[in-house]
A = this chain, B = another copy of it.
Amino acid sequence: MKKHYLLTPGPTPVPPGVALREALPVLHHRTSEFSAIYKDVVEGLKYVFQTKNEVYVVASSGTGAMEMAVVNLLSPGDEVIVASCGNFGDRWIKIAEGYGVKVISVSVEWGKVVKPVAIEEALKSNPNVKAVYTTFTETSTGVVNDVKAIGEIVSKTNAVLVVDAISGLCGQEFRTDDWKVDVVVAGSQKGLMLAPGLAFITLSDKAWKAVDVSKISKFYFDIKKYKKSYATNETPFTPPVTLIVALQESIRLIKGRGLESMWHDYKLLAKAARAGMQALGLKLFGEVPCDVVTSACVPLEIGGKIVKTLREKYGVSIAGGQGVLKGKIIRFAHMGYIGKADLLVGFACLEMVLCELAVKIEKGKAVAAAEEELLKD
């Protein structure tokens, strides 16, 4: 009987019409019926990624696509720059180093955003760098990096720019081709409004040149296999057909709404979420807050309790801090199938939980502040 309200930065809620498609009878993946759906899906993904290049669908978590962006572009001993500003940026370092790649880090403290100028300088000092890895919206802290500026810089060099857009795609303006991003990875369970289980990757012509000389061993994540199968509207290995059939519907919804319109709406939700947090006296966390998740500082002694109480007592799932931020921040998502009313539910319950945890707040104030922003639409 417990009613759940999912306000976490992935997985996010799935629209009922999308979820129901997961329950349709399984289609065989080597049929004209499935190929037609697959073709429609990958064409739709080009729109979602804002690219003219092919987008490949992989059966894995988002991290699988991140690994693809390392093992297909590099060789052991290669030098890369990683510009990290949080937990997911740090994952690039772990993957790259795990494959014998030398990482030049221009990372910043968690909560800050990566500095395009630092990437520019690192590229000048290290002319052999093969790739620059960074994160679009860093979910662990709630900031957004200036990928457009980074793209401008990296495109003038021989390095390819690889961006983890797992949490930000569909949630905030992102233009693969216009921003000169060579490789973008994403996952199904965030802005694409689908259950977890699919990852995506797209590569520019410049990136394909790196693929040609890559010497890291790979099999399941070998991008060439995916490219070859793509030509016949197939995948190299049995794909998660029910998730792909559902994805067709979520892409249809996204196209119907329009990316610009979605970006506008999440920006509004973000403004409302920030206003709500501040109305509760909670300091916003993050140098440049993104539009898909809002982070706020909480007293260390109640950090974990807020998340736990919200979930157990009211069925509202938000996220706490990860790693060094554990217990120090709360994270409130407004990505995917999360709307104005969901945000207000979240703040109303957060108010009650803070009262229960003996934090002095004025009931209704966060909701009022959020409403005020939402009404400006």
A residues bordering B, Cβ < 8 Å? 2, 4, 6, 8, 10-14, 19-29, 31, 33, 59-64, 67, 70, 94-95, 98-100, 187, 189, 195-197, 216-221, 237-243, 311, 317
Among candidates B13, B100, B220, B240, residue contacting A26 with C-beta atoms closer than 8 Å: B13
B217–A98 touching, CB < 8 Å: yes
Give min CB distance, A311 to chain B, whole Å: 6
Knowing A23-B22, A196-B238, A196-B239, the reply to whether A60 touches B220 (Cβ < 8 A) is yes
Question: How many Å lie between the Cα of A195 and that of B198 in the bound state?
Answer: 13
Question: How many Å lie between the Cα of A317 and that of B28 in the bound state?
Answer: 8
- What's the number of copies of this chain in the assembled complex? 2
Can you name the residue of chain B whose Cβ is closest to the Cβ of A187?
Answer: B238
Question: How many Å lie between the Cα of A20 and that of B25 in the bound state?
Answer: 10
Question: How many Å lie between the Cα of A95 and that of B217 in the bound state?
Answer: 10
B59–A61 touching, CB < 8 Å: yes
Which residues in B have their C-beta under 8 angstroms from that of A2?
Answer: 33
B63–A195 touching, CB < 8 Å: no
A25–B6 touching, CB < 8 Å: yes
Which residues in B have their C-beta under 8 angstroms from that of A99?
Answer: 217, 219
A11–B189 touching, CB < 8 Å: no
Among candidates B26, B60, B237, residue contacting A14 with C-beta atoms closer than 8 Å: B26
Among candidates B10, B19, B196, B220, residue contacting A64 with C-beta atoms closer than 8 Å: B220
Interface centre among A22, A187, A189, A241 (most CB of B within 10 A): A22
Give min CB distance, A205 to chain B, whole Å: 25
Interface centre among A2, A12, A197, A241 (most CB of B within 10 A): A197
Knowing A25-B6, A59-B61, A189-B238, the reply to whether A67 touches B219 (Cβ < 8 A) is yes
Which residues in B have their C-beta under 8 angstroms from that of A195?
Answer: 22, 26, 240-243
